[in-house]
Amino acid sequence: MIRGVIEGTGSYLPEYRLTNDQLEKLVDTSDEWITARTGIGCRRVAGPGEETSKIAAEAARRAMAMAGVEAEEIATIIVGTITSEMTMPSCACLVQKEIGAINAYAFDISAACTGFIYGLELADKMIKAYPDRKILVIGAENLSARVDWQDRNTCVLFGDGAGAAVIGADDSGRGILATKLFSDGRLGDLLYMNAAPSLNPYIGSPYNKRKSAKTEVFDPARLGSPRDDEGSYIKMAGREVFKNAVLAMEDSIDKVLEEAGLSGPEIDWILPHQANIRILHNLGERLGVPKEKIFINIHKYGNTSAATVPIAFDEANRQGLLKRGDLVLTCAFGGGFTWGAEIIRW
Ligand code: ACO
């Protein structure tokens, strides 16, 4: 059977590191609280030249280099994002221009943290129909432009980054074995973000405001605080989201394992969405999967929404952790709500 297989991975993390100690000076929080409750120690903040499409394009270039695929060979570009710097063109079209993928068609997926996994499922179906094609699936976010830096409930959680994968065809048993995707719009008001100010200079863009200054010392003003675009921040009922995330991801994992005819202990690696270390440990315990099999980088980058999964893929891949033939399970949960799980034979 022909399946979509990951031929190359890439990622890009903005240079600027924002630590918990710096956040202590901004809101009423502590390194101890953030580390204990979330597992996050640091996050990256995009600066000038690191717009969502730019970091997405850099991750894509790195994935194409690993796959040995030229930009002209890419047939489709799919970007999972909720924080593109423009509403139109799509982030995927901006990436297309940036990398010179002149033969591709390109579009975005808005599925919050599950965007990359939604994209992989689509790519797998496209590859089954057109096995000679190469598809770029990207997850990229600039969440620092969309959090309220005066709200300790959310600002400590999120970061910026991008990850990408080149998908091609394989008929040797490798590739995407099973996927289960879900959404429930009825729960949308537990985690949401109103329309973006984007690059529009007339509605108080946080991006425009922080375009000029890139200082060594963390400067809240650089992140646009106080701002006149309050309605566009991420809003989250954290505790409710936490409960839903654990149950929903666990359920989707059960279902995807069943579809693939596998059990938890057979999985070699879990490369999950990185939202909270407690969610990940909880999942591991419930599935009977030891902690060592769960790839974690949340301490370095925080929650980068659609980018967490492809960044994890790329880091685990480049660290040589993923061996050919390994069974890799990924899962995510995000605003919408959207969630899902996928099993890949690497
Ligand atoms: N520093 C110090 N105290 C804080 C902070 C902070 N940064 N944030 C909240 N608190 C306080 C609260 O005010 C509360 O105080 P109170 O008891 O006096 O009212 C106390 O800590 C406990 O608050 P909770 O919200 O119950 O804390 P919880 O243990 O649930 O952790 C968290 C909060 C980290 C947000 C957690 O609920 C979580 O991770 N939720 C899920 C996030 C997630 O999965 N998001 C999905 C993807 S995101 C997307 O799609 C874009």
Contact 294, 328 (CB under 8 A): no
Distances (CA, A) of 209 to 68, 140, 199: 39, 21, 10
Establish whether residue 174 lines the binding site of ligand 1, counting it when its CB lies within 6 angstroms of any ligand atom: no
Q: Which SS3 state, helix, strand or coil, does residue 230 take?
A: helix
Residues sharing a CB contact under 8 Å with residue 293, sequence separation 6 or more, in sequence order:
267, 268, 269, 270, 284
Architecture of domain 176-190+234-345: 3-Layer(aba) Sandwich (3.40)
**9: enclosing H helix or E strand:** strand 3-12
Measure the CA–CA gap between 130 and 317, rounded to whole angstroms.
26
Q: How confident is the model at residue 197 (pLDDT cuts 50, 70, 90)?
A: low
pLDDT at residue 210, as a whole number: 43
Residue nearest to atom 33 of ligand 1 (CA): 238
Two tokens at 80?
């999972």
Measure the CA–CA gap between 227 and 180, rounded to whole angstroms.
39
Q: Give the tens place of pLDDT for each residue, 65-90.
A: 999 999 999 999 999 999 999 889 99
User: Average pLDDT, stretch 242-265?
Assistant: 95
- Residue 113 annotated in active site: yes
Decide if pLDDT at 211 tops 80.
Answer: no
Task: Tell me the three-class secondary structure of 250-309, residue by residue.
Answer: HHHHHHHHHHHCCCHHHCCEECCCCCCHHHHHHHHHHHCCCHHHECCCHHHHCECHHHHH
Residue at token pair 């000029």: 212
Phi-psi region of 176 (alpha: psi -120 to 50; beta: other; left: phi over 0): beta
The number of the ligand 1 atom at minimal distance from the alpha carbon of 82 is: 51
Q: How confident is the model at residue 13 (pLDDT cuts 50, 70, 90)?
A: very high
Q: Residue 328 — φ and ψ, nearest 5°?
A: -115, 130
Decide if pLDDT at 61 tops 90.
Answer: yes
- Give me Rg for the CA atoms of the chain: 19
Residues sharing a CB contact under 8 Å with residue 319, sequence separation 6 or more, in sequence order:
none
User: Average pLDDT, stretch 191-197?
Assistant: 81
3-174 CATH choice from 3.40.47.10, 1.10.645.10, 1.10.10.10, 3.30.1370.60 = 3.40.47.10
pLDDT at residue 216, as a whole number: 38
User: Average pLDDT, stretch 222-238?
Assistant: 68
Establish whether residue 248 lines the binding site of ligand 1, counting it when its CB lies within 6 angstroms of any ligand atom: no
Catalytic residue among 297, 303, 317, 331: 303
Share of the chain above pLDDT 90, in %: 81
Q: Give the tens place of pLDDT for each residue, 166-193.
A: 999 999 999 999 999 999 999 999 999 9
Q: Which of 109, 166, 118 is nearest to 141 (CA)?
A: 109
Establish whether residue 103 lines the binding site of ligand 1, counting it when its CB lies within 6 angstroms of any ligand atom: no
Per-residue DSSP letter, 46: -
Read off the pTM: 0.93
Domain boundaries, the chain: 3-174, 176-190+234-345
- Residue 273 annotated in active site: yes
pLDDT at residue 60, as a whole number: 98
Q: Residue 222 — φ and ψ, nearest 5°?
A: -65, -30
Measure the CA–CA gap between 22 and 298, rounded to whole angstroms.
17
